[in-house]
Structure 1
């Protein structure tokens, strides 16, 4: 064999697979097909398809760039897309550039995003809610642009791990509160655009950053100018602002020039009132600091303060924290720049939000350590197109010993659950639906694909099904620790009581499951049967929400609603209208949180009449810290942080509001519980450091 032939053969052996199999990686292909099906008639995405045979890399889908069989870039900005982005973005592990700016995607920014992205542009989409904490886990991130949306609330202290981030644009939103201390960790930061928000406090956290460009106009900042910026020439009548902003095309009346890919050049611009910058009528609105890369003249512009009114459900509530944050009284004047211009500050009104008060740095949380997995749970590994197993009735009967009483795990409003031991050694859970309650037996098979595609670490996996001899069975993964209800209320068990940290972990995991059903699924999936019996615990006490997607199978669309109301979980409006919504799910979740906090059942006829309804008894006491400590579960033996308890109760109070419109969306509940965990962990670390 000649040398040439040998070399050619070796080359083919080493590289032939890439020629033979040019198909897109299954997880990437699945994520893009789900994205396509979640968008509303996206005809602009040429060659895209939701069919299983669609191949993004081989077929050169619009806006998709591949390397080998992996998708590396998604650039679909400015196409007028609407709908949602699906729920599999975390599967896109090779994507480094994700740009969906200047579309009409609205709603919440999805919690799950490509985990290794370097450039992330979500600008100009009308997103509401808050900036998801999951951004803090994208340690490779270099460029983040969420400008020109309707993002509200305070910025989480979530930037500690983003040392590679060099451009941050969150301008033209409705964010409030102080700048987070973790901004100090942005050691690579060159450009920050914060203009046109409602930030308060000072800008000291930016003082040591290696900034080339900074725009903070049209905010409510107070305090002195950091030492780094002193000596900068003040130009009070300038409105030129910063150059090179990463902001996208402005959809309002601001003078921004769009770049087709979502980037643009931005000027500080005039205020909405059209008045020139300067010191006006009583207060500082903000400061624009623009530092030229080549060391030319820097500019400070003083412009009038513009008040905005936030419209989140949370801010409508008149709920004060139990241990309120002490608001520092600001001086009536800022420390002055080198020139003799007076900059008066005005008082900032207190805004009610889900953000808990500051941690007590002298107390640590009791019980087990809450690990970082609470912040971003590990995603389950799953094939792109997950197939469920069709079991025969004979196999299931053998595995459950003909549905013997010994294998009966539980009996609910829509079916009974049995432990099943299969020949391959696997132990699974079989839910035997009451056939008489099915809306239409034929719908059972139609619903299987939909239920099987629910893919979240805190939602119980559907393994298979059986539909024979008028039997309708669902086969799920089995969790040996049983239900939350069993852990909280069963008697004469060897298991030790749940620690406070475990209870917070269970609440956060369950909240994430509901956030997924409500906000990641399209259309939103209302569970309709949230209760502690439907929250299953695995070996590590991680929660898994069961019965998701089953409510619509039942003869009554709100099957089990009466039972849910009678047992104390049902929302008041559901009892009147007979209809369940995402807001009634939020109420039921609040009841579960009360159950975790107090160790009591939602309705207990054995108690005195005034204490039988848990919500009615507990709600008036949620704002009294002494009463709150008295009603906490005695099984905790006092091993909890009072601050953590009060913040937990803050969230409960919001969820069980009588008026559904006042209850927060689950994404905000998740953020509040994440902040609770963060502060608890920080408190614990500070406490341990004090002891060293």
Structure 2
């Protein structure tokens, strides 16, 4: 009797203590911010009891549908509440979230690109989402369950499933997807349930042959060819409503390996299809003794836990008592296998797995074969991308004093002013050792409520951005209410100055150099969008933020600044709208996304092609907006030739020009869902370089040296 009382006492103590901890835990502020944005995007629905748009404590105040672990939000379950609106744009901040279920509501617009990066279950079924599947889903290596059925998703799916080896359930049914099944479906090595019915898929389904499927529904599509024999062995297979070829299937090609038999039901004994019995009919599982042992172990652990918790009872419980799970900070590079998947983006990136050896979540299996690689990896990049593991170590950049920077800039003299934007002014700084750097002095109005600790945390985040085409953060200063960032200095200034402020005595950029700048800038954006986790939306992408070194390699500046400045979306929108860089949806909503960055990139490509500014009020009304004037002419070769920057004097290859214009047309499409991800833009520009039949006419470089051979022209692209 005493033992029972003791056990009950321990259990009650554990339950009471843990409940107290949960109630008193202050929710992580990044999670609070993401949920308040989500609440506003959902129209502040009264169904979301407990939710508020002004801070609050989701974990301590029991917000409807929210589950926490300590101070971190781990689950959001809002199924069937009649919610409308959208999911917001800040979900990627929910780095501890493993389950997001908003199924059976009335949510619309596109599925947001910035989804929680560590989800295991994502259920968006039964809504009105449009567009396609966001590329960010391809980076969710932990995802086990993905349900997008009964939406209005459409278009051809990208080859984005190569990293989803943990996925067991995939439901894309009752949408309007088209095209063949992506080849990366073959990498879904754990999938047992796949539902593709009621779409408009075409082509064969051979890519599914080696998957361990137990349920497969491909009915009511436009599939053709033969149903593979191995798929016919699946117990729950539905294939009606397609255009299958009748008659026996042709024999496999010579040399085809024998069937792996993964879909053979006889090999599943003891698996999901027979959970209660093994192959000889004997009951399998944990016996009574095993259960008793587990119970005893749990009680022992509980007793120890109760002892320590009771010992600490006199201490005040707060959120600091609950150790927060380690999560990736913003701008954290992806795991090594995810970076290698982008091999065609940074071909010669030398990434050491030693930098990831302390991360328990890293998958060190060899990466899948990159089917999209379309050029020799030794030809186009000799600068390795150094990708560092996120940690809480001290900032590696230099801490400067205000006095140091005043001395180096001549007390921030106007003579040293080299640029100004909505966030702050940039000054040229020369130090006693002869080193020249660029100092960005951030306006106090840009950070009205930020403490010095907040600023230093942001500096730590930005200092983790490392890419050959991203301007490197060298140091910072936070003293006396002043916040300054110190960057590497690039002698040739900005692309904007070269295109629009050059005088009659300046040598214009050659066509090859313009392509070089476009490709390097695309690689910088691709790094921010698809290699950093969570993705970084630049928001200020424009020619003035593309800096050129002595070899005219581009370096993108202001990366990461838009993410911590209050109202940065509106500031960037106001600034870029007046200058012609903003995407149409930004002008309406004031919110920037990865797709709006793609649009801004297309505008910069138009600047490179035409030599014009994105918006010029001095021109006639029909020609003031560069995108509006140029877009209808991009596919007309005669009109295109008339649009080219006169400074080029006709020295460019016609085919290269046409392909360059094709990329622009994709990027500046008014509908964001039709704009390509930056990885596709990079690949298109690389193919442009590789395929171009370079002109035999003489092309002069920036120093006026003539080049007459195709080999020399090609060589200029090797950077």
- Name the TM tier (shorter chain): 0.5 to 0.7
How far off its partner does 1:170 sit?
0.9
How far off its partner does 1:23 sit?
2.7
State the TM-score, normalizing by the size of structure 1: 0.54
Q: Report the secondary structure of 2:664's partner residue.
A: helix
Separation of aligned partners in 2, 1:604 and 1:119: 45
How far off its partner does 1:593 sit?
1.7
Tell me: CA distance 1:459–1:22, structure 2 relative to 1, closer, same or farther (3 Å). Answer: farther
Separation of aligned partners in 2, 1:90 and 1:411: 30
Separation of aligned partners in 2, 1:514 and 1:96: 22
Aligned pair partner of 2:221 in 219, 222, 225: 219
Separation of aligned partners in 2, 1:493 and 1:681: 23
Q: Report the secondary structure of 2:603's partner residue.
A: helix
2:608 is the counterpart of 1:592: no
2:30 is the counterpart of 1:27: yes
Tell me: CA distance 1:159–1:552, structure 2 relative to 1, closer, same or farther (3 Å). Answer: closer
Separation of aligned partners in 1, 2:471 and 2:479: 21
Structure-1 residue corresponding to 2:702: none
Structure-1 residue corresponding to 2:206: 204
2:64 is the counterpart of 1:55: no
Separation of aligned partners in 2, 1:401 and 1:29: 43
Matches within 5 A, 1:298-447: 361=374, 366-368=379-381, 401-410=410-419, 417-418=426-427, 428-430=439-441
C-alpha contact 1:561 1:570 (8 A) present in aligned 2: yes
Q: Report the secondary structure of 1:506's partner residue.
A: helix
Structure 1, unpaired ranges of 5+: 1-7, 234-239, 243-267, 269-276, 297-357, 383-390, 434-443, 606-610, 657-661, 686-692
Structure-2 residue corresponding to 1:674: 679
How far off its partner does 1:408 sit?
0.7
Aligned pair partner of 1:107 in 83, 106, 109: 109
Separation of aligned partners in 2, 1:403 and 1:64: 49
Separation of aligned partners in 2, 1:476 and 1:501: 28
2:538 is the counterpart of 1:533: no
Separation of aligned partners in 1, 2:26 and 2:635: 57
Structure-1 residue corresponding to 2:518: 503
CA-to-aligned-CA distance 1:583-627 (integer Å, 9 cap, x gap):
99987643312335x48454899xxxxx99987689746565998
Aligned pair partner of 2:496 in 475, 485, 488: 485
CA-to-aligned-CA distance 1:129-178 (integer Å, 9 cap, x gap):
21011111111111101111111221110111111111101111111111
Separation of aligned partners in 1, 2:571 and 2:645: 38
C-alpha contact 1:178 1:202 (8 A) present in aligned 2: yes
State the TM-score, normalizing by the size of structure 2: 0.52
Structure-1 residue corresponding to 2:329: none
Structure 2, unpaired ranges of 5+: 1-9, 247-262, 269-370, 393-400, 617-622, 691-719
CA RMSD of aligned residues (A): 6.5
C-alpha contact 1:370 1:681 (8 A) present in aligned 2: no
Structure-1 residue corresponding to 2:48: 45
Tell me: CA distance 1:295–1:431, structure 2 relative to 1, closer, same or farther (3 Å). Answer: closer
2:655 is the counterpart of 1:653: no
Q: Greater relative contact order (Cα 8 A, min sep 6): structure 1 or 2?
A: 1
C-alpha contact 2:666 2:676 (8 A) present in aligned 1: no
C-alpha contact 1:413 1:560 (8 A) present in aligned 2: no
Tell me: CA distance 1:184–1:588, structure 2 relative to 1, closer, same or farther (3 Å). Answer: closer
Matches within 5 A, 1:163-178: 163-178=165-180
Separation of aligned partners in 2, 1:77 and 1:588: 36
C-alpha contact 2:424 2:442 (8 A) present in aligned 1: yes
Q: Report the secondary structure of 1:152's partner residue.
A: strand
Separation of aligned partners in 1, 2:614 and 2:571: 27
2:670 is the counterpart of 1:663: yes
CA-to-aligned-CA distance 1:264-318 (integer Å, 9 cap, x gap):
xxxx9xxxxxxxx779xxx6799xxxx997999xxxxxxxxxxxxxxxxxxxxxx
Q: Report the secondary structure of 1:221's partner residue.
A: strand
C-alpha contact 1:420 1:429 (8 A) present in aligned 2: no
Separation of aligned partners in 2, 1:362 and 1:512: 19
Structure-2 residue corresponding to 1:182: 184
Q: Report the secondary structure of 2:133's partner residue.
A: coil
Separation of aligned partners in 2, 1:42 and 1:536: 46
Structure-1 residue corresponding to 2:137: 135
Tell me: CA distance 1:612–1:213, structure 2 relative to 1, closer, same or farther (3 Å). Answer: closer
Tell me: CA distance 1:410–1:86, structure 2 relative to 1, closer, same or farther (3 Å). Answer: same
Separation of aligned partners in 2, 1:22 and 1:603: 50
Structure-2 residue corresponding to 1:68: 70
Structure-2 residue corresponding to 1:125: 127
